[in-house]
Amino acid sequence: MNALINISYIVASILFIFGLKMLSSADTARRGNMVSALGMLIAIVATLLNEGMSYHWIIIGLIVGGTIGATAAKMVKMTAMPEMVALFNGFGGIASLLVGWSEFHAHPQSPAFTMVAVSLAVLIGGITFSGSLIAYAKLAEKIDGKPLLFSGQQVVNGALVIMAVLLVIVFATSANAYPALVLLIILALALGVLAVIPIGGADMPVVIALLNSYSGLAACAAGFVILNNVLIVAGALVGASGLILTTIMCKAMNRSLANVLFSGFGSATSSSAAGGGYQGEAKPITADDAYYILEAARSVIFVPGYGMAVAQAQHVVKELGDLLENNGAEVKYAIHPVAGRMPGHMNVLLAEANVPYEQLVVPEDVNPVMSTVDVAIVIGANDVVNPAAREDENSPLWGMPIINVDHARTCIVCKRSLNPGFAGVDNPLFFKENTRMLFGDAKKSFQGLVSQFKES
């Protein structure tokens, strides 16, 4: 039986790796998800075949957890998907913490290696859980999304990390380790909170990716605790892919991970908006006027942001794009890697609206030819199109690669107001000579444009 279980774990691990590879392409992503799901099914069945397994609590857990998960997935809005991802990361972390804690209770006199694995599962799992809850609260605007900074914050965090390392050593070598474990759990939960509160809203995609990596590392440590090969492999894959994604997010903002974690981006003192913001006169435009501009356009680029998610406008944006194509225009959708509030947020929304993957472009593809584009339409994005990143050395966005929509012949910005976005940084794009502001709800605005095209 043990041989069959180990072979099943190997097969599951191979399926995880192939599934993860297939997720890197839009054409194979759906199949990759199914391949990975099949691998997880095999791993679960193999685990349940273990002799001596008690199924009572497992069945109860499946019923309760499955009901909660299915209900949450059914009810969640696409705008709330980043918050749900944050919660998923957190629940993964707390699961690893509880596995480590439970294993210590079952085998309090385990070898030092197992004790170290228990302490790492508890430490990383606790940080992931409490940090994810703070990320959820910021994304859901339950608490202020701006960084919360205090004097000596980095010193305090550094001291807590040193204390955590010492507690791991004490826990692994002490005959009476339980007090050290309890202190480690409390310290881990505190570290998670203190690690995320100084991070501002603009950095949430990086935080989500990093917490995802943490949840994988916690699961990997839990795998060593219970000596489960497939959990070790799966946790390592999640941890590594999360770190790679974090690196991609940081590169997209031209910032280091340390700068993201410790700079307090988006705080009032760091924002150029603190001095009163950029001055100028915005030029409002109606949907009727925007129609005439778009009707004459031969190249149009949509730049989606979180405002599109809030308005749930992705379907009508796709419909307008199809009408523009029928009118003879070349249509593209430019997506910045950190647009929205989680990695791939805009890709998910446009995929939901069945936008062809071939029409999606990244800043490096479109910026060199932006001056030849007739119309760039910005839908609720702020930081990823903010020219202050190029023009204002005092801006916290300085040096961040952006989509140069201000270089297009005409830029139409669809927004509810001139207020800054989630990061709290004002945007001089609104006052550029070639910018027109289409104020109002994005969905209603584009529905008006769609109606105009259909009537004509």
Domain 277-455 classified CATH 3.40.50.150? no
User: Quick check: 12 and 39 in contact, CB under 8 A?
Assistant: yes
Number of H helices, E strands in the chain: 17, 6
For residues 338 and 92, what is the distance between their CA atoms, to the nearest angstrom? Answer: 24
In this prediction, residue 187 has a pLDDT band, given cuts at 50, 70 and 90, of very high
> Would the pLDDT of 106 be above 90?
no
In this prediction, residue 28 has a pLDDT band, given cuts at 50, 70 and 90, of confident
Q: Would you give the DSSP letter of residue 334?
A: E
Burial-class residue 421 by CB neighbours within 10 Å (0-12, 13-18, 19+). Answer: buried
For residues 403 and 336, what is the distance between their CA atoms, to the nearest angstrom? Answer: 7
The pLDDT of residue 222: 94
Q: What is the mean pLDDT of the chain?
A: 88
User: Quick check: 296 and 311 in contact, CB under 8 A?
Assistant: no
**Average confidence (pLDDT) over 109-119:** 90
Token pair in block for residue 393? 């050395």
User: Quick check: 13 and 229 in contact, CB under 8 A?
Assistant: yes
Q: 158 to each of 162, 164, 210, 218, how far by Cα in Å?
A: 6, 10, 18, 20
Which of 203, 383, 406, 426 is catalytic? The answer is: 383
Does residue 322 carry a catalytic annotation? no
Residue 412 has phi, psi (to 5 degrees) of -105, 120
The pLDDT of residue 263: 59
- pLDDT: which is higher, 26 or 131: 131
Give the domain ranges of the chain. Answer: 1-75, 79-270, 277-455
Nearest by Cα to 208 from 96, 344, 343? 343
Token pair in block for residue 296? 């004459």
Q: What is the pTM of this model?
A: 0.82
